Structure 1
Amino acid sequence: MTFTYRLLLLCSLVGTVGLTATPMNSKSAHAAASCPTPALSRFQRHQVNRGETLESIAQRYNLRPSTLINMNPSVRNGSVTVGSELQIPPYNGFVVEVPSGQTWRQVAEKYEVRADALFEINGCQQDLRVVFVPGGNVSPSRPITASPPAADSQPISFTGYPLQSAATVSLPYGWQINPTTGEVFFHSGVDLLAPVGSAVQAIAPGTIVFANDQGTYGQLIIINHSGNLQSRYAHLGEIKVSIGQKVNQGDLLGTVGRTGEPTGSQPHLHFEMRSSSGLGWVAEDPKGFLKQ
C-alpha cells in the first residue's frame, strides 16, 4: 500500500470518525466525561479563498504548513487551489492507524509523547483504531513531543495543602483500575480521604477561574497560579469563592462533598495539578506540589 493511499485512507477515517459523535459504552463514559472533546472530533474544514496560501492558512489556525500538508494529500506540492477544502486539525500533529492490540502506553512510547496527554487529547476513548498524535514535527516517521510554552512569570513556591490536615490517599495519580468497573483508566489527580463538610483550602496564591458544577467533577474550583500552573478541587459540597477572586495560600475555597461521579465510595477531595502546554492544561503528579 503506497504512502499516499494510506494517507487518503486515514484522512477519510478522520472524516468518518472525527467529524461525528463517537458512541461510548457505559464503562468509558465516566472517564471520557472528564476529558476534552477528542481531537478527531475537533477537525474543521476550510475552503480556500482567493489570495490565500498554504502558509497564510496555517498561520490563521496557529499551525505549521507541514501539518496541513500531512493532513491533506492534495496539497503535498505545497500549493492550494481556490475553492478546495482543507481538513484543519486542532493542533500540530498527525493521525495514525493503530495496530490491533496496542495500548495507549505503547502508542505513546512509539511516538515519544506523554501517555496521559495522548489519552486525554483523544477523549479517553478505548477505541485505538485511529488516533491523533500531537507533535511539533508532523512527520509520522519523525515525531517530536510538543513543548510547553514559556512561563508567563516565575513559578511560585508551593508549600500548602488542600485540607487542614494530612489525609490518606485513596487513589493515587496515574494509571489505575477503577474499583467499581474494573476498567483501566488514567487518574489525573489524587483522591484525599476527608469527611463531608471538611474545609478545602488553596494550596498557593492565585486567581479563581472556575467555580461551578462540571459534569463528573461535580462542584469544581480551578485556580490559575503563576508559572503556568493550575490547581483543581473537585466533588465539593459547597463553593465559597467566585470567578475572578484572588486567593492566598490557606484561604477557604469550599467543603468536601459527594457531588459529580467520584471514584470510590468513601468521601474525598479529588485534587489535581496541571501545567499549561501547547496541548492545553496537562495533568501533573500532585505529589511534588503537596506539602503536608
Structure 2
Amino acid sequence: MTFPYRLLLLCSLVGTVGLSTSLNSNSAHAAPSCPTPALSRFQRHQVNRGETLESIAQRYNLTPATLINMNPAVRNGKVTVGSELQIPPYDGFVVEVSSGQTWRDVAKKYQVRADTLFEINGCQQNLSIVFIPDGSVSPSRFITASPAPADSQPISIAGYPLQKMASVLLAYGWQINPSNGEVFFHSGIDLLAPVGSSVQAIAPGTIVFAEQQGTYGQLVIVNHSGGIQSRYAHLEEIKVSVGQKVNEGDLLGTVGTTGEPTGNRSHLHFEMRSSSDLGWVAEDPQGYLKR
C-alpha cells in the first residue's frame, strides 16, 4: 500500500473527533494508565479565509511538515479556503505496520522508545496502522507542568512512597497478561498496601497535579528538580493541592482502589518519569527507591 493511499485510508476513518472502532478495538484491553490512542484524537479543521498552512500549524502547536504529511492535498504548502485538514494531537506521521512486526521492531526502525510508542498508541496489542511521534511529544501531555530547565541540578532521590516496605504486585516494564497472554507495557510498579495506608513523597518537590485522571484514578504528581517526576495513583484520598511544596515523607494521600487498578487487591501504582525530548518518559522506579 503506498503512503498517499494509506493517508486516504486514515482520512476516511477519522471522524469529527477520532477514529472508528476498527482502529481502536483493543482499547478495552489496554494496560492500566494508558492514554487514549493518538489515532483516536485526530481533529478536523476547516480552513478559513486568511489562514495559511503555517498559521494553522502554529494554532495546534504542530510543524507545517506534520500537516503536509497528514494531508496530501497540501503538499505544495498551500491551503484552500473551505477545505478540511486532518489535525493529529502531536507532531509525527502514520505508518502501516507489516504483519508479524512488534512494537520493538517498529520502535527500532523509526528510532523511538518502544515504551513511549506503545503508550502513545493506547497500549494496543494488534499493530496495523500506527502513529509515530516526532519531536517533543509525550503520552502524558495532560500534565500542564513544563519540563525542568536544562540548567537545573539533578537530585538524588532515595525515598519510599509508603511507611512500610511493600511487596510488588506488578513490576515495571513489559508484562504478560495471565488471563489472555497479551503483552503490555507497565509504566510503574504496583505496591501492595491496605486501603487507607499513608502515601508519602519520596523527595522534595512541587505538586503539579492532584485530581482524578482516567485509569490512574485519584492521582498526585510531584515535580522534582533535575527534570524528575514521581506519580502516585489509585489513591482513595488526596491530601495536597497543586502548587504546594512538599518534602520527603510528607503525606500526599492514602491508598485506594480508584481508576482501574490491576485485579482486586488494593495497591499503590507508583511511577518515576524523567524529562526528555520525548516529554515525560517512564523510568524503572526501583532505581529511585530506598532498599
Shift of 1:271: 0.5
**How far 1:16 moved relative to its partner?**
5.7
Paired position in structure 2 for 1:12: 12
Q: Which residue identity does 1:40 align to in structure 2?
A: L
Contact 2:93 2:132 in 1 (8 A): yes
Aligned AA for 2:177? N
- Report the CA distance between 1:155 and its aligned residue: 3.3
The 2-side partners of 1:35 and 1:163 are apart by 24
What pairs up with 1:43-58 in 2 under 5 angstroms?
43-58=42-57
Pairing 1:220-231 to 2, within 5 Å after superposition: 220-231=219-230
1:36 maps onto 2:35 in alignment: yes
1:1-292 matched pairs, under 5 angstroms? 3-13=3-13, 15=14, 19-20=18-19, 22=21, 28-29=27-28, 31=30, 34-136=33-135, 151-152=148-149, 153-277=152-276, 280-292=279-291
Gaps of 5+ in 2: 137-145
Q: Which moved more, 1:166-175 or 1:206-215?
A: 206-215
Letter in 2 for 1:8: L
**TM-score, normalised relative to structure 1:** 0.82
Q: Aligned to 1:107, what secondary structure does the other structure show?
A: helix
> Letter of the aligned partner of 1:212 in structure 2?
E
Q: Which amino acid aligns with 1:69?
A: I
Kept in 2, the 8 Å contact 1:204–1:249? The answer is: yes
Secondary structure class of the residue paired with 1:108: helix
> Offset at 1:109?
1.7
| TM-score normalised by structure 2 residue count | 0.82
The CA deviation string for residues 46-74 of structure 1, in whole angstroms up to 9 with x for no partner, is 22233333223222222222111111111
- How far did 1:220 drift? 2.5
**Match for 1:286: what amino acid?**
P
Q: Is the 8 A contact 1:161 1:201 kept in 2?
A: yes
Would the aligned equivalents of 2:19 and 2:42 in 1 still touch at CA under 8 Å?
no
Paired with 1:260 and 1:58, the residues of 2 have a C-alpha distance of: 35
The 2-side partners of 1:92 and 1:247 are apart by: 35
Q: CA deviation at 1:22?
A: 2.9
Q: Which moves more between the two structures, 271-280 or 53-62? A: 271-280
Q: Please tell me whether the aligned partners of residues 209 and 223 of structure 1 are also in contact (alpha carbons under 8 angstroms).
A: yes
Give the distance between the partners of 1:264 and 1:2, measured in 2 at CA: 43
Specify the SS of the correspondent of 1:9: helix
Unaligned runs of 5+ in 1: 138-148
Query: How far apart, in 1, do the equivalents of 2:69 and 2:224 lie?
Result: 36
Share of identical aligned residues, percent?
78
Length, aligned pairs only: 279
Match of 2:140 in 1: none
Q: Which runs of 4+ in 1 moved over 6 A?
A: none
Distance, in Å, in 2 between the alignment partners of 1:38 and 1:233 is 22
Helix, strand or coil: the match of 1:79?
A: coil
Q: Deviations over 1:11-58 (max 9, x none)?
A: 434x26972353766x85253662222111222222223333322322
**1:209 aligned counterpart, secondary structure:** strand
Q: What SS does the aligned partner of 2:268 have?
A: strand
8 Å CA contact 1:175–1:187 kept in 2: the answer is: yes
Query: Per the alignment, in what secondary structure is the counterpart of residue 12 of structure 2?
Result: helix
8 A contact 2:16–2:44 mirrored in 1: no
**Farther off after superposition, 72-81 or 274-283:** 274-283
CA offset digits 1:170-196 (Å, max 9, x no partner): 321111013445432111101123344
Shift of 1:154: 3.0
Q: Note if contact 1:35-1:120 (Cα within 8 Å) is conserved in structure 2.
A: yes
Cα distance in 2, alignment partners of residues 258 and 50 from structure 1: 51
Is the 1:179–1:264 Cα contact (8 Å) retained in structure 2? no
Preserved contact between residue 216 and residue 260 of structure 1 (Cα < 8 Å):
yes
Show the counterpart of 2:141.
none
Kept after mapping to 2: 8 A contact 1:173/1:187: yes
- SS state at 1:67 partner: helix
Judged with a 3 Å threshold, the aligned counterparts in structure 2 of structure 1 residues 176 and 82 are, in CA distance, closer, same or farther, namely: same
